[in-house]
Amino acid sequence: MASYSIIFREISTGVYKMRQSYIFWLEFAQTSFLVLIMCLSIVVNIQARDITEGMIGYWPLDGDAKDVSGNDYHGELTKGVKWEANGKVGGAADFDGAGSHIKVAHKDLTPEVRDFTVVTWINGYKANNWAAFVSARGNGNSAYWMGYHGDTDTLTYVYNNNAANTWDWKESIKIPKDTWALVAVAIEEKKATAYAYTAKTKKLEMAENKIEHIKQSFLNFVFGKDDCCGTRFYQGMLDEIMMFERTLDKEEIMQLATIGLNVESKNKLATSWGKIKDSHALN
């Protein structure tokens, strides 16, 4: 009988251990499933975010300089701009650094803003110091410019009636050279934030210029050069230029860098304005 008792206890112990193991793995599976659902929910929420609010203009630069935001701020090409089929998103505009640029709705695109964001994909380098990706110098000191600091190659901007603490902001981030990168400057009342996301490394750099900003009135936008102070041309590709009369946040910048305009945003543009590129997948 003693041997049966031992066998019974061993069987009971084995069953107990199997039951405990089953409970452990069941709870582990349930927890893992919940974590997966939460992660998927986060991804869906990010992808579902519509960032077209406050969009002034959107230039995909897919073989032309049309604005597909619905506001019709179309660009006009000058000599030397070529169309590159393999841009970051679809095609891109290629600037020769020797005079090529795009004039953008000079009579019509005249935003009066304090909060302001410009975003573009770049792949190139400055042909001259203080080269610009986007600039607007048609209204005296009330000017806008986003490009290379002349001494440091950092990403900076002109604002506050051409104040030196905007364009001479040396503590900003370095602009990636000859590689696809999304760059942006997002301006608000108490600060401006510079962003640079390098596609190859999937790394986002950012810096803040903590100064007051005032309302500005811009005129005569140009892509690929700065009209101030002599020759200031950019050499390389620009793609997906967007302009907003509000301050985009870090999450929105990351969305544009990693996802692009989501389905909801594209449908909104297509439905409301009747025009949007057929494909918007990041290359």
Domain boundaries, the chain: 1-47, 52-273
Those residues whose C-beta lies under 8 Å from the C-beta of residue 240, and which sit 6 or more positions away, are: 58, 59, 60, 61, 87, 88, 89, 119, 120, 121, 256, 260
**Contact between residue 132 and residue 232 where contact means Cβ atoms under 8 Å apart:** yes
- The string of pLDDT tens digits covering residues 247-257 is 999 999 999 99
Q: For residue 200, what are its two tokens?
A: 């190859």
The per-residue pLDDT for 227 is 85
The per-residue pLDDT for 157 is 97
Query: Structure pTM?
Result: 0.78
CA distance 182 to 161: 26
Residue 210: HSE in the Cβ half-sphere, 13 Å Cα cutoff: 0
CATH architecture of 52-273: Sandwich (2.60)
Per-residue pLDDT of the chain (283 residues; tens, 9 = 90+): 545 454 445 445 554 455 555 555 556 556 555 545 454 444 444 444 688 999 999 999 999 999 999 999 999 988 889 999 999 999 999 999 999 999 999 889 999 999 999 999 999 999 999 999 999 988 888 999 999 999 999 999 999 999 999 999 999 999 999 999 999 999 999 999 999 999 999 999 999 999 999 999 999 999 999 988 888 999 999 999 999 999 999 999 999 999 987 545 555 454 444 444 443 445 5
